[in-house]
Amino acid sequence: MLKKSLAFFLIFIFVSAYATEIWSEDIQTPQTPIDDSKQPYTRDDVYRQLELFSTALSYVLGNYRENLTKEQLEKVMSEAIRGMLQGLGDRYSFYQEETSRKREQENLFFAKFGGIGIRILPSPDGFVYVVQPMDGSPAMKAGLHSGDKILAVDGKSIENQALEDVVNIIRGEVGTKVTLTILRQGIDSPFDVVVTRAIINYPSVKSTIIDKNIGYISISDFTAETATELNKSIEELRGKGMKGLILDLRGNSGGMLTSAVDVSSTFISEGLIVSTDGRLDRFDAEYRATAKEKLDKDFVKYTTSIPLILLVNNGSASGSEIVAGAIKDHKRGLLIGERTFGKGVVQQRFPLDENRAVSITVSIYKTPNGNWIHEKDLFSVDVNMQKELDEGKIPEGLRQEFANNKIPLSGSATIKTKDRIRNKGVRWQINDGENIYTVKKEEGKIKISQGGVNPDIEVEQPNLLEDSGDSDAVKMLTKFYEGEYVNKFVYDYVEKHKEQSPEEQLNGLLGKMPELMKTLSDNGITLSERIVRMYVRRTFSSTQSAPNIDLENDLQLARAVEEITKQIK
């Protein structure tokens, strides 16, 4: 009786939902499908699946050894909803409970939250990786750095979990500790890093002047205040004689859509900034420049004409890609760095009750020229490349490469291209001179996909640890962080020399490098002075409101300075 009642109840809910258009429009199944499982679902398919679920639930309620409490039943249903969304294979669709919703709003609107100070993005294998730790954050002090892959949190695997869920697991009560299991390139086995949670109050915009007339502004995320802070920084730099601007979006994984549109509008006075394209028309939208409506006419004239360079990398995602795509398509500035991440999907929150909701991907972003931002699969072939390729599915720029070469499964890549190919584990990026295609091995096939925003000038940032040739360099760095040598070195000096200007403090620190190098050597740490100097600069930057400028090691920024100097002259 219970099973029949549940089935009737769930089917009744489905019919009601269908009537109010929560479910997709009815799609006719072809009469002779090649593979029925690949065809669009019908109402009957949903009825069968709902009955299957209600049957399973009735068995649990009717036969489990204990009567479930209301709390247990709520947990069972919450996990069922969470599992349903995970079944989509989309790590951006997720189930949100009250606590995570409040934290998200606090982060987006006030840029203040309890956590460890890292930005993360999904990795292709179902885990997440650290885009970058924030300067001076608990994560940075604990030794986490860009590229670290997080496998587990407090001993529990986070494989295939929604990005939002991973963020909420890492966050917690201020002062408590969280243990992250890390896989780091150069170290064979995973290891644990313990980080103490803290209040993270990090400005989304930092600015300074380079070489007297080059403005530099970094944006770490897109909050409700970002565009206002950006425009304030531009006015300040303008007053200091800025004649060209470098806008740094590297490691910026996104934030509020409207904020990204407003930031773009600072440099583009009119026209389309970004559009969204969904399966249903109601999720289609266009977002146009807002500068003329919101900003002073003289300010707009200045910001839309000043020489502009945008720095991006594979940690630039979502909102950063909206800005990059708009700047590139409108030919408003020059993009330098690396291909962006390729996260261009839009979620809409559908409330379930007062405290819970589901966020579901409903559309994708397109740049003003109609290019997809989100990474999408173009085609796949067997790993041995023996099957004949369908040339109609291969982009024009890659046909010759695939006709003459094979994609290697490991080691260095050998495909010849007009530019180059970069090997990153089981992912490659092929640049045919016009587009960048991602190549990855997955489930016995090689998949070719396209997405992200390509830079006008590609400059790959070197990894000093890998390039040092020292096989123990990564292990040395871990030991280096655990001893907090740089933290003590920098913080003690700044505390003792408060009367000095930031420039004098930095020069003083760099002048005392021999003392720090001797301390490290005495403790068995043999990192190169260049690597240590880089971390001294980064740690010092965390004590200042100005961003870290390191033209010695930051080749992308150095190239940007070179290019914008040409435009100013």
Instruction: State how many domains the chain has.
Output: 5
Q: Across all residues in the chain, what is the average pLDDT?
A: 79
Residue 509: burial class (beta carbons within 10 Å; 0-12, 13-18, 19+): buried
Band the pLDDT of 92: cuts 50, 70, 90. Answer: confident
Q: In this predicted structure, what is the pLDDT of residue 298?
A: 93
Mark whether 5 is an active-site residue: no
Q: Which of 328, 343, 366, 441 is catalytic?
A: 343
Element (H, E) at 95: strand 94-96
CA dihedral 91, 92, 96, 101 (to 10 degrees): 130
Q: Which of 174, 201, 228 is the last residue of a domain?
A: 201
Mark whether 343 is an active-site residue: yes
Residue 176, Cα to own-chain centre: how many angstroms?
26
Residue type, 503: E
Mean pLDDT value of segment 266-283: 94
265 pLDDT higher than 90: yes
Band the pLDDT of 165: cuts 50, 70, 90. Answer: confident
Tens digits of residue pLDDT in 98-125: 655 555 555 544 444 578 988 888 887 7
Tens digits of residue pLDDT in 141-162: 888 878 889 999 999 999 988 8
Q: In this predicted structure, what is the pLDDT of residue 99?
A: 58
Q: Looking at the structure, tell me whether residues 384 and 531 fall in a common domain.
A: no
369 pLDDT higher than 50: yes
Q: Looking at the structure, tell me whether residues 486 and 538 fall in a common domain.
A: yes
Residue 568 is assigned to a structural domain of this protein:
no
Mean pLDDT value of segment 483-501: 86
Count of CA atoms in the C-beta half-sphere (13 A) of 60:
14
Q: In this predicted structure, what is the pLDDT of residue 318?
A: 92
Q: Looking at the structure, tell me whether residues 442 and 304 fall in a common domain.
A: no
336 pLDDT higher than 90: yes
Residue 410, Cα to own-chain centre: how many angstroms?
26
Q: Which of 366, 398, 428 is the last residue of a domain?
A: 366
CATH number of the domain that residue 153 is part of: 2.30.42.10
Q: DSSP assignment, residue 234?
A: H
326 or 295: whose pLDDT is higher?
326
Residue 213 is assigned to a structural domain of this protein:
yes
406 or 138: whose pLDDT is higher?
138
Q: Looking at the structure, tell me whether residues 318 and 423 fall in a common domain.
A: no
Q: Looking at the structure, tell me whether residues 435 and 339 fall in a common domain.
A: no
Q: Looking at the structure, tell me whether residues 441 and 416 fall in a common domain.
A: yes
Q: How far apart are CA 217 and CA 206, in angstroms?
A: 6
CATH number of the domain that residue 287 is part of: 3.90.226.10
Q: In this predicted structure, what is the pLDDT of residue 530?
A: 86
Q: In this predicted structure, what is the pLDDT of residue 1?
A: 54
Q: Which of 137, 207, 318, 359 is catalytic?
A: 318
- Pick the most confident of 19-28, 266-275, 411-420, 481-490: 266-275
Mean pLDDT value of segment 368-372: 88
Q: In this predicted structure, what is the pLDDT of residue 395?
A: 52
The domain in which residue 320 lies consists of 205-366
* Positive/negative CA dihedral, 401, 405, 407, 408: negative
* pTM reported for the whole predicted model: 0.76
Residue 371 is assigned to a structural domain of this protein:
no
444 pLDDT higher than 60: no
Q: Looking at the structure, tell me whether residues 247 and 340 fall in a common domain.
A: yes
Mark whether 387 is an active-site residue: no
226 pLDDT higher than 70: yes
Q: Looking at the structure, tell me whether residues 358 and 209 fall in a common domain.
A: yes
Residue 440 is assigned to a structural domain of this protein:
yes
414 or 146: whose pLDDT is higher?
146
Q: Which of 169, 201, 233 is the last residue of a domain?
A: 201
Residue 474 is assigned to a structural domain of this protein:
yes
From the list 320, 343, 330, 318, the residue with the least C-alpha distance to 449 is 343
382 pLDDT higher than 60: no
Q: Looking at the structure, tell me whether residues 209 and 324 fall in a common domain.
A: yes
Tens digits of residue pLDDT in 52-87: 999 999 999 999 999 999 999 999 999 999 999 989
Q: What percent of the chain has pLDDT over 90?
A: 40
Q: Which of 135, 329, 359, 554 is catalytic?
A: 329
Mean pLDDT value of segment 456-475: 68
